[in-house]
Amino acid sequence: MVKEIRLKLGGSWQPIIGYFAGIAAVMSLLIFKLGSIVPGLSPYEASSLANTSDVHHILNNPVNAPFNLMQWLLHYFSWTTPAQVRGVSVFFAFIAAGLFYYVLKNWHTWRIAVLGTALFASSAWFFHIARQSTPDVLLIFAIIAVLAYGTWLKLTKRVSWALFVGALLLSILVYVPGVIWILAAGLVWQRKLLLALFKRANWLSKILSIFICFLALSALGWAIFRQPSVARSIAGLPLNGIFSPRDSLVNLAKIPVRIFYRGPSDPTFWLGTLPLLGIFATVTSIIGAYAYWLGRKLDRTKVLIGLFIMTTVLSALSGLISLALLLPLMYLLVIRGVTLLLQQWLTVFPRNPLARGVGRGLITVVIILATFYNINHYFVAWPNAPETKAAFTIQQ
């Protein structure tokens, strides 16, 4: 018995070390100078913190409740330093990075999964959202969680666990602005699979799942009954209740401009007017879009197309939804582009080990350079910009 355990460990110690190294690297970047990278809190962070000081306010307006309840707990224990309040965003961002790796590992090879997660988790766009005390991080978490659950659902044989996790996920994500439409579309599209899952699950899992969903939806329904404007926020619709086709079209046109050409001029969330994607990510995302188009009959491509349409429309409606909703999808395109480049290289040199090694090495080096650029952007250039220092002046 002891010998068998040693043999198993002897064959798996390298992947285990790799996993721990990856976890340590992501967590180190997320918490490094978390409370001191800027002089204080931004107006957005201060407003978010003030709105979560009273649990009754959260119950009456449960939009972004998973994030707000965790911030309320920090208030309860008097943990309100900048590092502590930003830790809530770091928590969701870290889980999102892990789920992103899980999706890539099942969609691509392990090498692409590692390189892709490194690109995603070290992107300046990700850092600006993941290390600020605002609920935008839930938008990233929601998209990745939906993709990860859908991937796991088709692979797992633990039917009861799958039903329970699905109910728990729905009860969390239903409070994230705009995500209710994505959940509804997923339930309709996978209705046969989910119905079969429900029939095969044990009674305890069925009862718990129904109870969790009922509790979450009834609490949301009660809040909407008392304050109808909550429904607009949950649906991702304009906060003022007025839909303007002209404004929505203008916002829609700004999305590719913000991503590829000129970023938002907001020093609390970005550096200058640099595009949200760097040159490498821009080029590979275009290649990735072409690669997905070639495989447009695949289920994952259909899912991504549907998500792109829904998230783009929601981002243009002037609601509580920011471009953070598009971040995971854009990096899935980037990683698919990297995969296609590597595949084409290996196709040209199918048996030459030296050429294959050179190709893999070049891709790795370029990704390391892109990662270094993004880390330098966020940790060096952005906090030292005068506009950034002027935007983070609120002391807590």
Cα 224 from Cα 239, distance rounded (Å): 14
Q: What is the pLDDT of residue 3?
A: 54
Reference 176, options 123, 132, 216; nearest CA is: 216
**How many CB atoms within 10 Å of residue 253?**
10
Q: Give yes or no for residue 6 having a pLDDT over 80.
A: no
Q: What is the pLDDT of residue 14?
A: 61
The two structure tokens encoding residue 70: 């965790």
The two structure tokens encoding residue 32: 């490094």
The two structure tokens encoding residue 14: 């390298």
Q: Give yes or no for residue 71 having a pLDDT over 80.
A: yes
Q: What is the pLDDT of residue 11?
A: 55
Mean of pLDDT values over 153-166: 90
Q: What is the pLDDT of residue 265?
A: 86
pTM, full prediction: 0.93
Mean of pLDDT values over 238-265: 86
Reference 131, options 103, 100, 96; nearest CA is: 96
What contacts 253, CB < 8 A, 6 or more positions away?
none
Q: How confident is the model at residue 246 (pLDDT cuts 50, 70, 90)?
A: confident
Q: What is the pLDDT of residue 238?
A: 82
The two structure tokens encoding residue 26: 């992501």
* β-bridge mates for residue 394, sequence order: 41
Q: Give yes or no for residue 254 having a pLDDT over 80.
A: yes
Q: How confident is the model at residue 224 (pLDDT cuts 50, 70, 90)?
A: very high
Query: Among the residues of 174-244, which ranges form H helices?
Result: 179-189, 191-200, 203-226, 229-235
Q: Give yes or no for residue 362 having a pLDDT over 80.
A: yes
The two structure tokens encoding residue 206: 């069925």
Q: What is the pLDDT of residue 243?
A: 74
Q: Give yes or no for residue 133 having a pLDDT over 70.
A: yes
Report angle CA 204, 207, 211 to the nearest 5 degrees: 140
Q: How confident is the model at residue 135 (pLDDT cuts 50, 70, 90)?
A: very high
Identify the residue whose tokens are 């001029």.
265
Q: Using CB atoms within 10 Å of the CB of residue 301, give its burial: 0 to 12 exposed, 13 to 18 middle, 19+ buried.
A: middle
Q: What is the pLDDT of residue 10?
A: 52
Mean of pLDDT values over 187-193: 89
Residue 322 CA from chain centroid, whole number: 12
Residue type, 253: A
Mean of pLDDT values over 101-114: 92
The secondary structure of residue 396, as a DSSP letter, is -
Mean of pLDDT values over 211-220: 94
Q: What is the mean pLDDT of the chain?
A: 90
